[in-house]
Amino acid sequence: MSDMRDDTKTMRPPVRRQGPMRGRIVEKPKDFKGTVKKMFRFLASYKGPFICIIVLAVASTIFNIIGPKISSLAITELYKGTVAKIAKTGEINFTRIAQILSFMMSLYVIASVFNGIMGWLMANLSQKVCYDLRKGISQKIGRMPMKYFESKTVGDVLSRITNDVDTFGQSLNQAVVQLITSVVTMLGVLVMMLTINVLMTLVTLIIIPLSIVIVSTIMKHSQKYFKAQQRKLGEVNGEVEETIAGQQVVKLFNYEKKAIENFDKINDELYESAWKSQFFGGMMGPFMNFVGNLGYAVVAISGGIFAFRGIITVGDIQAFIQYVRNFTQPINQLAQVSNMLQSMAAGAERIFEFLEEEEERDAVHPEQFAAQTACPPIGDDNWMPRPGHALGHVVFDNVRFGYDPDKIIINNFNSIVQPGQMIAIVGPTGAGKTTMVKLLMRFYDVLSGSIKLDGHDLREFKRADLRSNFGMVLQDTWLFQGTIMENLRYGRLEATDEEVINAAKAAYADHFIRTLPAGYNTELNEDATNISQGQKQLLTIARAILADRPVLILDEATSSVDTRTEELIQKAMNVLMQNRTSFVIAHRLSTIRDADNILVMRDGDIVEQGNHHDLLAKGGFYADLYNSQFENG
């Protein structure tokens, strides 16, 4: 496949950015309630497994709640038997006690089975949610406009796929079960305590408002730090990614010390937000334990008084103490769940922010052109080429564009390109050459005017259909980790080995490939640094030849190679451009002397156009550019 990127550098020097992801911790929390609503809407599609988990959690919790009441019967029976034995009026009924304990044990076994099944279902569900989120983010990336990636760090996007999704999944796995069991336990224990003694239950309930005040206060202060922690984690990833990717630049400019300083600054900010979020989260446990101990003291005193007066039995006191423990424990768990929910919301907020980003907009009714034929019927103005079968007739009609609508960089661009022509675009840096390529590929849309392919405005095409007509070879080569055969086949996935090899021969790459240890099965590393720059360029040309697209965009592919390799690349590009409409961004003007038309750009406008000889004879801006290169050469 042709190289589908613009000429934005992938090896960025690790400079500090001043965008929204750089700077101080954002103190103001975002919409927590709104994020929770989005989570519920997203998780609604998994309601089947959730219902099963809820039923199992409720059943398991109920069986566990009944246990202390059953054990109180055994203790009461043992107490009565002991008193009767001391008074010599009876014996301990061990048979009855064994029956009670056997029944209690069976309840706990059933509860454990339900709990095990619930844990298995929850683990599967949380991983399925993570899988779907990663898949959704991956698909979203393919629909995002180029301007998004030109304004964001790679590390931040990666952090949303890895850290934020993992945080969401882990918190979901733990929080949902604990939330369900804690709520059911509180309600169930409350009912059981009321059956034992209403007054003792009311006294115990004093701890609830105190617990709510503690939890809400801590949550209010900790949420902003949980959010900041996730944000800073993304920044750390971005800093590490760009520093590693730009190691050559880092070492070349002795930037190691500054890179460490930049990392330390972000790492310190992550540390500050992380320890504060963990500190506030960790405060809940001790506070809730204190509240729980108050509850035990109240039960011990009131229970002793009631037992002395014969209002309740000894077994009921024991059961009530267990229920108080079971009542305060879910309150502690809810405090922990609140921490998890905050981490979960912080991660989910960043995930949903990305998933809700504006996508590339396609044609309003692109489907009407889907079944058109490869060749235009005579007199049919509605004909539109099938994907990959454009004729290559391109018209720039009063094109006006700026990345910022208030800062126009392409003012009034007009040109007509006939099928099969080679069009060179030349001019000084910042003239708008690469911007025109981005507009051709519809990485951006024009502000006014139009660009037409075979008589149709580019905005009438589906973006994927439009781009299937373009092949690109850029100065920045892009090869992925894998074999050379796999990299070349990226141009056309269904191509046979023979077709791949023929494309490599046409690009003059076959010879050097066969000299490598494993030939076409040689594994390229992540940045393809185990082959030379010229060899990488030949591979990208071979990939474009294999793709066989009708329109080509070539961004000076020979500027960073030696003279011999330049000759090979130029020969390969000549083969590639045969019978194709070609747009060549040229820095070395000697390489485009045979162009059918040369567009000379300056400050976003075409100041001259014509063939090489005519432009030289005119003695204008092009002649000055050409002669200055010749003199310097």
How high is the pLDDT of residue 96? 86
In this structure, how many other beta carbons lie within 10 angstroms of the beta carbon of residue 27?
9
SS3 content of the chain, % helix, strand, coil (to 5): 65, 10, 25
Distance between CA 615 and CA 597 in Å, rounded?
A: 10
Least confident of 429-433, 506-510, 593-597: 429-433
* Side-chain-side CA neighbours of residue 505 (13 Å): 6
What strands, in cross-sheet order, belong to the sheet with 448-453? 410-417, 394-401, 448-453, 456-457
CA nearest 211: which of 306, 110, 334?
334
Flag whether the pTM goes above 0.85.
Answer: no
pLDDT, mean of residues 212-220: 71
pLDDT band at 514 (very low <50, low <70, confident <90, very high): very high
Distance between CA 433 and CA 584 in Å, rounded?
A: 10
Distance between CA 114 and CA 61 in Å, rounded?
A: 9
pLDDT, mean of residues 618-623: 88
Q: CA 142, 144, 149, 151: dihedral to nearest 10 degrees?
A: -170
- Numbered ranges of CATH 1.20.1560.10 in the chain: 46-355
pLDDT higher than 70, residue 22: no
Token output for 495: 């191509």
pLDDT higher than 90, residue 485: yes
Please provide the average confidence, as pLDDT, over all residues in the chain. Answer: 79
The predicted-structure confidence for 367-392, as pLDDT tens digits, reads as follows 444 434 344 443 444 556 666 678 88
How high is the pLDDT of residue 358? 84
| Amino acid identity for residue 561 in this structure | V
pLDDT, mean of residues 574-587: 82
How high is the pLDDT of residue 501? 92
Residues 6+ apart with CB under 8 A from 81: 90, 91, 92, 93
The predicted-structure confidence for 421-472, as pLDDT tens digits, reads as follows 888 888 887 777 888 888 888 888 888 899 999 888 888 888 888 888 888 8
Least confident of 106-110, 527-531, 610-614: 527-531
> Who has greater pLDDT, 319 or 140?
140
How high is the pLDDT of residue 20? 33
pLDDT band at 520 (very low <50, low <70, confident <90, very high): very high
Q: In the chain, pLDDT over 70 holds for what percent of residues?
A: 86
pLDDT higher than 50, residue 9: no
CA nearest 552: which of 360, 429, 390?
390
| Amino acid identity for residue 206 in this structure | I
Distance between CA 574 and CA 552 in Å, rounded?
A: 11
- Numbered ranges of CATH 3.40.50.300 in the chain: 420-441+468-632
The 3 state secondary structure assigned to 275-337 is HHHHHHHHHHHHHHHHHHHHHHHHHHHHHHHHHHCCCCCHHHHHHHHHHHHHHHHHHHHHHHH
Q: Are 509 and 551 in contact (CB under 8 A)?
A: no
The predicted-structure confidence for 533-556, as pLDDT tens digits, reads as follows 888 888 888 898 888 888 888 877
To which H or E segment does residue 457 belong? strand 456-457
Token output for 230: 């996730």
Fold of 46-355: ABC transporter transmembrane region fold (1.20.1560)
Distance between CA 615 and CA 201 in Å, rounded?
A: 97
Question: What homologous superfamily is domain 420-441+468-632 in, according to CATH?
Answer: P-loop containing nucleotide triphosphate hydrolases (3.40.50.300)
